[in-house]
Amino acid sequence: MSKRIAVVGAGLMGSGIAQVSAQAGYEVVLRDVTEEALRRGVGGIRASYERFVAKGKLSAEDAEAALGRITTTTDLEAVADADLVVEAVFEKLEVKQEVFRELDRIARDGAVLATNTSAIPITRIAAVTDRPESVVGTHFFSPVPMMQLCELVRGYKTGDEALAAARAFAEGVGKTVVVVNRDVAGFVTTRLITALVVEATKLYESGVASAEDIDTACRLGFGHAMGPLATADLTGVDILLNATRNIYTETQDEKFAPPEIMARMVTAGDLGRKSGRGFYGYDEK
């Protein structure tokens, strides 16, 4: 596919997608609603590139060249020339639908409209457009520069061309792809991790075992790289709570009903690593 893409949303996920795209040679338009959000996003990208340079995984010249391929804007109209637009805004259906209504109006004919949702059915997002065949799920994982997986998700009307273009893009930025052929809420990965996190949280909440021991059991017993509660802290307790609620709303399956303590943690601001405390405490630095 062509080398022009746009990323809507300069948060952790959007900036990560912009970073790997620029590093792979794509010309990237990164859009957010405020200049401050864009400064934070680009600052995070620059810092990440600097870490790669310090570790010898990227040359300083290549890092600067990649940064030079990223253009920032607060104007959504700037995505009009992109061949692929990746939406990476807040994980709420109404917010994403509003973005896709605008993308449907602005994006050029034939452009692929991708959503980075981790749990919301693609069909619901695509339904607000007049081109649902062009809408596809591209679920990247955090942190995007480090995580190798991209979950591609077909909506009810996603066309083969859109899926193929999304695959070419994801593989072009170095990711291994899995395809979800039916967009059940939570797809494959979020459905599995939320079920595990919910059960682990219930065990922790009821005093069956400590967070440390639950995570150790999963790491050493199942070979997981990270336990479910540490994963929740890394992802963001608020993010996983929202994903779990989305799946529960869609399925009404009790195994996805969020434990009370997750909602209390979010209300109290214990969101995990990004806030300094979640299931574990973290050095604020």
Task: Say if residue 20's pLDDT is above 50.
Answer: yes
Average of pLDDT values for 93-101?
Answer: 97
Which whole-number Å values give the CA distances from 211 to 197, 220, 266, 281, in the listed order?
11, 14, 17, 11
Q: What percent of the chain has pLDDT over 90?
A: 92
269 Rama class: left (phi>0) / alpha (psi -120 to 50) / beta: left
Condensed to tens digits (0 to 9), the pLDDT of residues 121-145 reads 999 999 999 999 999 999 999 899 9
Average of pLDDT values for 142-160?
Answer: 96
Q: Exposed, middle or buried by CB within 10 Å (0-12, 13-18, 19+), for 201? A: buried
159's tokens = 């066309």
Closest CA to 183 of 127, 124, 97: 124
Task: Say if residue 116's pLDDT is above 90.
Answer: yes
Question: What is the residue type of 256?
Answer: F
Condensed to tens digits (0 to 9), the pLDDT of residues 209-240 reads 999 999 999 999 999 999 999 999 998 999 89
Q: Are 240 and 232 in contact (CB under 8 A)?
A: yes
What whole-number distance in Å separates Cα of residue 157 and Cα of residue 140? 21
Q: Name the residue with tokens 């062509």.
A: 2
CATH number of 189-274: 1.10.1040.10
CATH 3.40.50.720 fits 4-180, yes or no: yes
How much is the pLDDT for 22? Answer: 98
Range in 13-17, 26-30, 239-243 the model is least confident about? 239-243
Task: Say if residue 17's pLDDT is above 50.
Answer: yes
pLDDT averaged over every residue in the chain: 95
Q: Where are the domains of the chain?
A: 4-180, 189-274
The number of beta carbons lying within 10 Å of the beta carbon of residue 30 is 28
- Residue 284 — very low, low, confident or very high, per pLDDT cuts 50/70/90? low
Condensed to tens digits (0 to 9), the pLDDT of residues 158-216 reads 999 999 999 999 999 999 999 999 999 899 999 999 999 999 999 999 999 999 999 99
**C-alpha 273, offset from chain centre:** 17
Model's pTM, two decimal places?
0.90
Condensed to tens digits (0 to 9), the pLDDT of residues 76-91 reads 999 999 999 999 999 8
Question: What is the residue type of 71?
Answer: T
Q: What percent of the chain has pLDDT over 70?
A: 99
How much is the pLDDT for 282? Answer: 94
Length of the chain as a residue count: 285
Closest CA to 10 of 50, 38, 33, 51: 38
Task: Say if residue 285's pLDDT is above 50.
Answer: no
How much is the pLDDT for 209? Answer: 98
The set of residues, in sequence order, having a beta carbon less than 8 Å from that of 248 and lying 6+ positions away, is 256, 257, 258
